[in-house]
């Protein structure tokens, strides 16, 4: 898969340092999470792809038929394409560690890639993911660090599904941390700080 499979932004970091992929939410683009990524991982090279699906003009990473109802065939297509895109950049950069951060639809595609290629990301930050299906992990998540952030009153990502995702990840061996806030689908400061602590805890040589 080509490094240019997606339109994307790239912010250079320390050569051989961490590689951070950031994945935007529905209706945003490849610029949405760049500044957050730089703030959270100052030394990392940051790659931010733009979703290749348009939903009434809003960019997404895969199609859906209704809120919370995914086109599973298109999700499989997008997952394979994104995994290839990430692998191409990892092979070229040879980073110390591979990090992922996604919000909403971006968290969903990141989670799907983690299920499909568990060894690809050392650490993943999933902000308000919605996984309304039982994931099939192709391998083991042992040794992978995953932070899930969520709102207790999120109308898009219900707390019971966040708890179920947490259970799935733990059952497959992942080292999971969950950070809640009292609100809805918005990102709040405690989530940002949780992500900062989570990424800062990485050993310099990677996981």
Using N-to-C axis directions, what is the helix angle for 72-93 and 105-116, rounded to 10°? 70
Q: How far is the C-alpha of 118 from the C-alpha of 94, rounded, in Å?
A: 18
d(Cα 11, Cα 195) in Å, to the nearest integer? 19
- HSE-up of 114 (CA within 13 Å, CB side)? 34
Instruction: Spell out the residues 6+ positions from residue 167 whose beta carbon is closer than 8 angstroms to its own.
Output: none
DSSP letters, 14-43, are: STTS-EEEEEPPTT--TTTTHHHHHHH-TT
For residues 178 and 160, give the distance between their C-alpha atoms in angstroms, rounded to a whole number: 13
The sign of the dihedral angle between the CA atoms of 102, 65, 164, 76 is negative
**Residues belonging to the active site:** 104, 154, 185
**Separation between Cα atoms, residue 78 and residue 70, nearest integer Å:** 12
């Amino acid at each position: 898969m080509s490094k240019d499979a997606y339109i994307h932004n790239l912010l250079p970091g320390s050569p051989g340092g961490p590689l951070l992929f950031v994945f935007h939410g529905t209706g945003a683009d490849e610029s949405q999470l760049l500044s957050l990524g730089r703030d959270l991982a100052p030394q990392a090279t940051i790659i931010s792809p733009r979703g290749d699906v348009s939903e009434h003009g809003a960019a997404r990473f895969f199609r859906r038929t209704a809120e919370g109802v995914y086109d599973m065939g298109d999700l499989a297509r997008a997952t394979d394409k994104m995994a290839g895109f990430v692998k191409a950049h990892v092979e070229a950069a040879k980073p110390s560690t591979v990090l992922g951060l996604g919000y909403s639809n971006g968290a969903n595609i990141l989670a799907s890639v983690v299920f499909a290629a568990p060894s690809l990301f050392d650490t993943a930050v999933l902000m308000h993911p919605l996984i309304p299906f039982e994931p099939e992990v192709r391998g083991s998540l042992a040794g992978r660090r995953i932070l899930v952030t969520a709102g207790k009153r999120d109308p898009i990502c219900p707390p019971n599904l966040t708890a179920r995702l947490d259970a799935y990840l733990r059952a497959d061996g992942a080292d999971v941390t969950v950070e809640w806030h009292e609100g809805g689908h918005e990102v709040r400061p405690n989530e940002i700080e949780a992500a900062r602590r989570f990424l800062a805890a990485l050993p310099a040589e990677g996981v």
